[in-house]
Structure 1
Amino acid sequence: MNKKNYLVILSLKKTAMNDLAKKIEALLFVSGEGMSIPRLSALIKKSDSEIKSAIEELECHLADEHFITILRDGDKVSLVSAKEVSELVENFAKDEFAGELTRAALEALTIIAYKGPVKRVDIDYIRGVNSSFMIRNLMMRGLIERIRDQKDSRAYLYRVSPDFLKFFGLSSIADLPEYGVYASRLEEFIKEGEKIAAGEEK
């Protein structure tokens, strides 16, 4: 962010963020993995310049009131914890990854096992909450892996890893209890959600 734009935004820091900045914040939050400027532009139907301006406003708002900040990687932006709480976050992560799997992590792992390869948005839909941290937890433990979505090069899919099969003593994913039954139910649940979403967009 250049100094001129920062000062302009800073002068308005007591003013609530506009709707565009709020929409970007919401999308970055649910994304978990960050989003590119073109992707945000396409979703919100605003120009790249408008998106960039709103991101600067969001960045200023977060710096002023939160321990969350914007991470930039080329044209991709994401929400991350601020350096002021890095030690706290690191200690939390160490404790979380070293202990036993939580109920939430097991829930996410079960969905990935029976439905994978699966999009994170579908995992979120089935669970009803954001699953970014749970997925990262499972990846760091080596129980799942991330692959490119062949239908959308910008997206990823998640599936269980070979270590998952070894850990549970399975020769293949089909050896999971009632694999066909639960995989089919999850597929139906996701399709029903897609129908509802499509209906709301009309």
Structure 2
Amino acid sequence: MTVEDVAADAVEEVVVDGDDVTDTTEVPAPVEDARIERALEAILMVADEPMSVVTLATAVGAPVKRVRAAIEALVADFDGEDGGVRRGFELREVGGGWRVYVREEFDAVVSGYVLQQNPTKLSQAALETLAVIAYKQPISRGAIASIRAVNVDSVVRTLLGRGLITELFTDSETGAINYGTTDLLLTQLGINSIDELPKISPLLSDGADGFDGDVR
């Protein structure tokens, strides 16, 4: 993208009239104070990455201080404090943001359910994404999408549900989750280590060797 393209995109966000500049960026309508906890819960339920307090505050149109208090209330609610029922999921702070996770005690139950609900065979898109992760791990979802040139959110969720990949760590600077393969994949492939994966650079038409050198 050229400098001119970037400038054009920026200009589209404002309307210039003489010396006045009016920001036309669409701002979410503020959520009623009494509904902020439930609104945050809804957002966190569909989030694929940890959500920072600032991002959440922007989403619901509320002050950061109010959102922090709401998050504390949600954590207590999910944990069943004050006589409530403990949920099967929890709200956890990771990588500078908040995300909903299945409680560890129910991991086996959820994994078993997901495996029963999904067909045995992986789609071509899932196989290609799995290959990228296997050869380039640890790798973030954004980097995977860049390599495949398509959105990989649903495919990554499928691979996580199958237990073939796992979240290795969260980048402290970007907040991006980095993924890697699991022992289950090694078992399915019949190998003892990811290092036993075949070299693929000789099979590439352009002779590129970007994958082979990064296998852990």
User: How does the TM-score come out when normalised to structure 1?
Assistant: 0.48
Higher helix share: 1
- Which one has the largest radius of gyration? 2
